[in-house]
Amino acid sequence: MSYKIEVKVYGDDEFYPNGIRLATEEEAKAYGSNKVGTWSLAEKYRVAESADPVNYRWELGVGLVSVEKAA
């Protein structure tokens, strides 16, 4: 299990995921907060569980780190 974010943009009722999968809900919340703060049209985000394998981790002060590159 992993966690993903889904982002809603202004003028759209849908939430859209991307390919980032994180190990914990806390990492996903930190990533989502950062992502929404950097997109000009993002309205809000939500965190959802995913069956996909973890492919990134979130490091405070660094951001996203690929788990494949870190290994």
Give the C-alpha separation, 51 to 12, whole Å: 26
pTM for this predicted structure: 0.88
30 pLDDT above the threshold of 70: yes
Asked if pLDDT for residue 70 goes beyond 90, the answer is no
Task: Using the Cα atoms of residue 30, residue 10, residue 48 and residue 54 in order, give the sign of their dihedral.
Answer: negative
By the 8 A CB rule, do 8 and 14 touch? yes
Q: What mean pLDDT comes out for the span 49-69?
A: 94
Average pLDDT over residues 43-69: 94
